[in-house]
Amino acid sequence: MEAQKVDMFMMMNAKFFESHHVHAVREKLLSLDESKWGIVQSLQFKDPTTSLIVSLLGGGLGIDRFMIGDTGLGVGKLLTCGGLGIWTIIDWFMIMGATREENMENFQNSLY
C-alpha cells in the first residue's frame, strides 16, 4: 500500500492503539495489497477517552466493559456491583489500555 495513505491513516488513528503497537500496525499496512484499502478505511475503533468517561460514570454496572466488547467481564461487574467498587476503581486506570488492546485485536482480525 502507498506510504502516503498509510501515514495519513496512522496520523488519524494512532491514538486508538498502544504506543508499542503503532509500528506493527504501520508495517502491516505497508505490506497489504491495495485492494484491502477499503477494508482498512471502514474499520471503526473505540475511543479510549470515551471508555474512560463511561467507566467513571457507569463502571460499577459494567457498561464500560460491555462497550468495548468484553461481555464476560461486563456481566461479572454487573452482578458484583463492580466487585463491590474495587473492580470499578481498578478499571478507571486500566480501561484505556484495554480499549486500545481491543482495537488492536479487531484490527488484526479484520485483515486476516
pLDDT 10s digits, 44-92: 999 999 999 999 999 899 999 999 999 999 999 999 998 899 999 999 9
Q: How far, rounded to the nearest angstrom, does the alpha carbon of residue 73 sit from its chain's CA centroid?
A: 15
CA distances from 3 to 54, 87, 93, 102, 104 (A): 36, 42, 35, 25, 20
Q: What's the number of domains the chain is made of? A: 1
Confidence of residue 36 (pLDDT cuts 50, 70, 90): confident
- Model confidence at 2, pLDDT cuts 50, 70, 90, reads confident
Q: Which domain holds residue 86?
A: 3-111
The closest of 18, 27, 20 to 9, measured between CA atoms, is: 27
CB-based contacts of 41: which residues, under 8 Å, 6+ apart?
9
pTM: 0.88
- The per-residue pLDDT for range 16-31, each reduced to its tens digit, is 999 999 999 999 999 9
For residue 103, what is the enclosing H or E element? Answer: helix 86-111
